[in-house]
C-alpha cells in the first residue's frame, strides 16, 4: 500500500525517488518511461486517430465507416487489374488478330500466349489435369502426346471451347463407350476374353489359358467400330488408342473389365462463355506446346 509520507523519498541505493508503495520493506521506485518510448507511443496514437478518420476502420451498419479518402481494398485491386489489362491490351489485340499457327511461329506472341494460357490453365484446368498437365486417373495427361479428340491446334481449341459430354453445349464431344456388361451386350466370360485381348495390344501378358482368338473376334465385332481394327483409336469418336502404354483408367485386367462393364466417359466443361475467345486461344497454344501437339 502507498505510504504518502514517503512519496518522493530518495532511494539510497539507486538515487531515484520512490512512489510511496511499500511491500514488506521493498519500496517501488518512481522510474519514468524513456522519452523515446513515450514519443513513439504518442506518435502511434496520433497515427491511429488519423487512420480512423481517413480510412475504413470502425464497424458500421452494412460494413464500416468509409473514411474521408473513400479508399477500399476492392477498388484498389480493381484499379490494379484495370492497369494490368491496359498494359497488356496491345499484346492481347495482336493475339486476338493472329491465327493459332502464326502465334506459334512468332516468338513474342508465343511467349505471351504461353504466359496468358499458363495462368488460365492454373486457375481453370489444373484441378483436373494437374499443375503441370500430368493428369491423373480419369483425367488425360496432356504431356504424353496422346489425344482422345485430336492434338492439332484447331482440335484442341474445339475441345476447350465446347468440352466433352457437356450437356449445356450442343457442339460438345458427345460420344461415349457403351456399357457392354451392364446393358447385357456381353457376358462375363466374353468380357474377360476381350480384356485379355485388349491387354495384348499394348504388350501386356494375358491370363494363362486366355482365349485370345475369341477375344479378338469379340473385339472386332463390338469394339473395332470405335477403336479401329488395329486398336489405334479414332479421334472422331474420342476412342482411345489401345496400343500405347498410356491408360486413362488403368491397364490392369480389372481396370479394363470395369470399363467394358460400365462404359461411359469423362466430362469436361465447355469453356466458351466462361473464358473470352482470346484467353481460349492462349490456352490452346499453351496446351498444344505441353506435349508436342500434332
Does 227 show up as a binding residue in the annotation? Answer: yes
- Per DSSP, 34 falls in state P
Does 268 show up as a binding residue in the annotation? Answer: yes
Cell numbers standing for residue 69: 479518402
- Per DSSP, 10 falls in state B
Does 220 show up as a binding residue in the annotation? Answer: no
Which residues are 29's β-sheet partners? 18
Does 4 show up as a binding residue in the annotation? Answer: no
Helix orientation angle between 107-124 and 73-97, rounded to the nearest 10 degrees: 130
**How many CA atoms within 13 Å lie on the side-chain side of 91?**
19
Per-residue HEC secondary structure of 149-210 comes to CCCCHHHHHHHHHHCECCCCCCCCECCCECCCCCCCCCCHHHHHHHHHHHHHHCCCCCCCCC
Binding residues: 125, 128-129, 177, 223, 226-227, 268
Binding residues for heme c: 125, 128-129, 177, 223, 226-227, 268
Amino acid at each position: 500500500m502507498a505510504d504518502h509520507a514517503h512519496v518522493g523519498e530518495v532511494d539510497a541505493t539507486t538515487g531515484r525517488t520512490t512512489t510511496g508503495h511499500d511491500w514488506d520493506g521493498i519500496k517501488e521506485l518512481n522510474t519514468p518511461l524513456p522519452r523515446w518510448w513515450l514519443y513513439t507511443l504518442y506518435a502511434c496514437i496520433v497515427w491511429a486517430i488519423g487512420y480512423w478518420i481517413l480510412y475504413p476502420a470502425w464497424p458500421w451498419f452494412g460494413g464500416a465507416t468509409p473514411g474521408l479518402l473513400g479508399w477500399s481494398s476492392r477498388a484498389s485491386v480493381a484499379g490494379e487489374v484495370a492497369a494490368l489489362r491496359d498494359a497488356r491490351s496491345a499484346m492481347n489485340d495482336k493475339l486476338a488478330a493472329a491465327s493459332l499457327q502464326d502465334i506459334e511461329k512468332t516468338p513474342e506472341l508465343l511467349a505471351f500466349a504461353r504466359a496468358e494460357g499458363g495462368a488460365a490453365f492454373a486457375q481453370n484446368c489444373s484441378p483436373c489435369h494437374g499443375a503441370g498437365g500430368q493428369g491423373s486417373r480419369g483425367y488425360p495427361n496432356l504431356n504424353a502426346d496422346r489425344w482422345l479428340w485430336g492434338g492439332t491446334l484447331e482440335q484442341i481449341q474445339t475441345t476447350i471451347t465446347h468440352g466433352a459430354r457437356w450437356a449445356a453445349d450442343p457442339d460438345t464431344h458427345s460420344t461415349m463407350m457403351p456399357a457392354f456388361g451392364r446393358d447385357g451386350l456381353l457376358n462375363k466370360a466374353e468380357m474377360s476374353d476381350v480384356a485379355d485381348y485388349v491387354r495384348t495390344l499394348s504388350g501386356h501378358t494375358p491370363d494363362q489359358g486366355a482365349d485370345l482368338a475369341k477375344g479378338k473376334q469379340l473385339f472386332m465385332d463390338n469394339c473395332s467400330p470405335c477403336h479401329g481394327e488395329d486398336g489405334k483409336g479414332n479421334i472422331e469418336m474420342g476412342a482411345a488408342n489401345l496400343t500405347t502404354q498410356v491408360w486413362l483408367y488403368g491397364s490392369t485386367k480389372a481396370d479394363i473389365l470395369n470399363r467394358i462393364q460400365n462404359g461411359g466417359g469423362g466430362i469436361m466443361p465447355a469453356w466458351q462463355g466462361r473464358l473470352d475467345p482470346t484467353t481460349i486461344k492462349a490456352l490452346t497454344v499453351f496446351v498444344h506446346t505441353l506435349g508436342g501437339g500434332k
